[in-house]
Amino acid sequence: MRSSFAFLSLALAGTMLVAQPSMNQKDDWNVLKALPQNQQIRVSLRAGGTHKGALKEASDSTLTFSDGRVLTKEDVQRVWVKRRGNRARHALIGAGIGAGVGLGIGAAIDSSCTSNSIVCTGNRGKAIGTPLFAGIGAGIAAILPAGGWEEVYRSR
């Protein structure tokens, strides 16, 4: 049993090492040709500087922006695409985390109730803490930045 686990672990580690370089390869220009029209992109140039705008078309040798600017493949160092964020998903995750924290704090408060205690809440600590902290977590997560730029191309 132990040798099977060791063999499986080594096989998995070897697979990850072999797959790692291919997962990080971003030098395929065809990725840019597959981008949809009006996709927001940011391009870093070999000579320095950046261009940002909506992509009109990517051919085998050029990138054309909606405003008519054209960049050749030889001029392009790196390309990023704008990814949309999902604030609703972030808010739900924040609410879940907050609810867990509130439940834990409420349970701690409720468990400290003894017969000699002046303030005994019963189960009110959990009942109040859980939704209170869920709302706080959802609010914090919803105001955090969403989306961002993802690198999709880097020349060699």
**What single-letter amino acid sits at 112?**
S
CB 110 within 8 A of CB 43: no
Convert the pLDDT of each residue in 135-148 to its tens digit: 999 999 988 888 88
Dihedral over alpha carbons 95, 100, 102, 108 (to 10 degrees):
180
- Sorted by sequence, the CB contacts under 8 Å of residue 75 that are 6+ apart come out as 45, 46, 47
pLDDT at residue 22, as a whole number: 41
Stated pTM of the model: 0.56
Class of domain 2-83: mainly beta
3-state secondary structure of 147: coil
The ranges assigned to domains in the chain are 2-83, 87-145
> What is the separation of C-alpha 155 from the centre of its chain, rounded to a whole number of angstroms?
24
Convert the pLDDT of each residue in 49-70 to its tens digit: 999 999 999 999 999 999 999 9
Angle between helices 124-143 and 87-111 (to 10 degrees): 150
- Sorted by sequence, the CB contacts under 8 Å of residue 55 that are 6+ apart come out as 32, 35, 36, 37, 38, 39, 40, 41, 63, 64, 65, 66
With bands split at pLDDT 50, 70 and 90, how would you rate the model's confidence at 21?
A: very low
